[in-house]
């Protein structure tokens, strides 16, 4: 039996994730495998921890990746701090707030939620008022909600949680590396990122960071597994029930990511190479300039879309700068447009979920996909596909508007 070599087609990926991996990241992934306790490898592990602190803008000691997709990071943090009956409060403004609810619920939490219309965010004071009413152990919130293209302001909520001695956990999967995520300044106790979005690393790791407040809860539940536990481990078990999951047990993962190098699992070597290089690229570019770059390409995309005569679904102060949601014209075959863009141009954009399915397209401008040529190409493919399906749009204006935006920005930069 002969199995042909798989050669994936060339794509321009403009979804809210995954996005195109940076070529430097792909090269790093092809490096030879090292043993997980080789000093050359553990040295790189330490570099990853230090670099993640900078990206998360934190002085936390604990900053390391969980092996798995982004939700593995959410699971690791939540399962390590939730015990059955704990009150968890979740403000929901899209699909991924619902995901936090789903995860917390499965670990036995008593769930309390506050919901707003998809496409809006909460006034922080409304969230704080509900927190004061519920008095939860944990508040878990999404920062950038890719299902709606919105970004929730967090600083006031985080400060209120700290003042009330409530743990504040934030899903920053969509925002880390693309817009500000200020863990310490916003009083975030634990933050979870993703590799496959603004970091431009393939899906497969979830960078997390957490402070001593989380660590205290985790250590109270510490239990090193049989077979690798020492006599000292057995004498110093935590005084609370052990963490439900073995794989996502932060108390053991801390020992893996510390000088002890507890043999908890076999590290995903090539993925760590990728994350190391991806974060190195982020820090080389500089966080402030990187955030500016994402904003500029977002603006160029919005300019082109609106010049075509299409409406931006979310266009308020708290629009997520790395995802632009476009309202689908009435009577247009939404899936047909997406399929034409993919099959004829090799350009991929996303549909949406729940109440917004069939009403909006979602276009990501994230990480390595956030480039001028990609923005111009997605506008061309979208306009041509809409024209094919008979949409009433202003033909020829999108590309010209985006080009005018880019050239004016370039001229302004040259003039200093």
Binding site residues for substrate, as ranges?
A: 362
Residues 6+ apart with CB under 8 A from 59: 53, 184
Neighbours of 394 (CB within 10 A): 13
Residues 6+ apart with CB under 8 A from 380: 345, 398, 399
195-325-8-399 Cα dihedral, nearest 10 degrees: -120
The beta strands (E) that lie in 98-255 are given as 110-115, 138-142, 144-145, 150-151, 167-171, 190-192, 205-210
Q: Which stretches of 66-151 are DSSP H helices? A: 70-81, 95-106, 124-134
Decide: residue 372, CB within 10 A, 0-12 exposed, 13-18 middle, 19+ buried: middle
Q: Which residue has the tokens 């995901």?
A: 99
Q: Give the annotated binding-site residues.
A: 362
Q: How many CA atoms lie within 13 A of 267 on its CB side?
A: 25
User: What is the token pair recorded at 251?
Assistant: 């108390």
Q: Which residue has the tokens 């080009």?
A: 403
12-17-93-210 Cα dihedral, nearest 10 degrees: -150
Decide: residue 226, CB within 10 A, 0-12 exposed, 13-18 middle, 19+ buried: exposed
Helix (H) or strand (E) holding 407: helix 397-415
- Dmax over CA atoms of the chain, in Å, equals 74
Residue from 69, 67, 146, 95 nearest 314 by CA: 146
User: What is the token pair recorded at 210?
Assistant: 């957490």
Alpha-carbon span 394 to 306, nearest angstrom: 9
């Amino acid at each position: 039996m002969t199995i042909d070599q798989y050669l994936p087609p060339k794509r321009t990926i403009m979804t809210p994730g995954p996005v195109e991996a940076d070529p430097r990241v792909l090269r790093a992934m092809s490096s030879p495998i090292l043993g997980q306790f080789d000093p050359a490898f553990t040295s790189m592990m330490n570099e990853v921890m230090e670099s993640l602190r900078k990206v998360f803008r934190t002085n936390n000691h604990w900053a390391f990746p969980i092996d798995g997709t982004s939700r593995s990071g959410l699971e690791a943090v939540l399962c390590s701090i939730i015990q059955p009956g704990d009150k968890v409060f979740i403000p929901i403004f899209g699909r991924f707030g619902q995901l936090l609810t789903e995860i917390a619920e499965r670990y036995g939490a008593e769930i309390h939620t506050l919901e707003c219309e998809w496409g809006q965010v909460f006034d922080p004071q409304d969230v704080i008022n509900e927190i004061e009413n519920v008095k939860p152990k944990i508040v878990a919130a999404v920062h950038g909600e890719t299902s709606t293209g919105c970004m929730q302001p967090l600083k006031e909520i985080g400060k209120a949680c700290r003042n009330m001695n409530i743990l504040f956990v934030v899903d920053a999967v969509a925002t880390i590396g693309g817009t500000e995520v200020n863990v310490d300044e916003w009083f975030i106790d634990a933050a979870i990122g993703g590799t496959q979005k603004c970091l431009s690393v393939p899906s497969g790791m979830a960078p997390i960071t957490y402070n001593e407040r989380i660590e205290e809860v985790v250590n109270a539940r510490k239990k090193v597994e049989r077979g690798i536990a020492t006599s000292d481990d057995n004498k110093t078990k935590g005084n609370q029930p052990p963490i439900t999951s073995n794989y996502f047990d932060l108390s053991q993962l801390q020992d893996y990511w510390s000088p002890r190098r507890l043999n908890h699992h076999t590290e995903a070597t090539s993925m760590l190479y990728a994350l190391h290089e991806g974060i190195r690229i982020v820090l080389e570019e500089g966080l402030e300039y990187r955030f500016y770059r994402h904003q500029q390409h977002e603006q160029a995309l919005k300019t082109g879309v609106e010049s075509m005569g299409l409406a931006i679904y979310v266009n308020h102060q708290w629009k997520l700068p790395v995802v632009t949601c476009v309202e689908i014209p009435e009577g247009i075959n939404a899936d047909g447009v997406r399929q034409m863009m993919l099959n004829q141009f090799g350009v991929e954009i996303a549909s949406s979920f729940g109440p917004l399915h069939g009403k909006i397209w979602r276009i990501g401008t994230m990480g390595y996909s956030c480039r001028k040529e990609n923005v111009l190409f997605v506008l061309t493919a979208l306009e041509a596909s809409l024209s094919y399906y008979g949409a009433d749009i202003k033909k020829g204006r999108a590309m010209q508007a985006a080009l005018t935006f880019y050239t004016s920005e370039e001229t302004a930069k040259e003039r200093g």
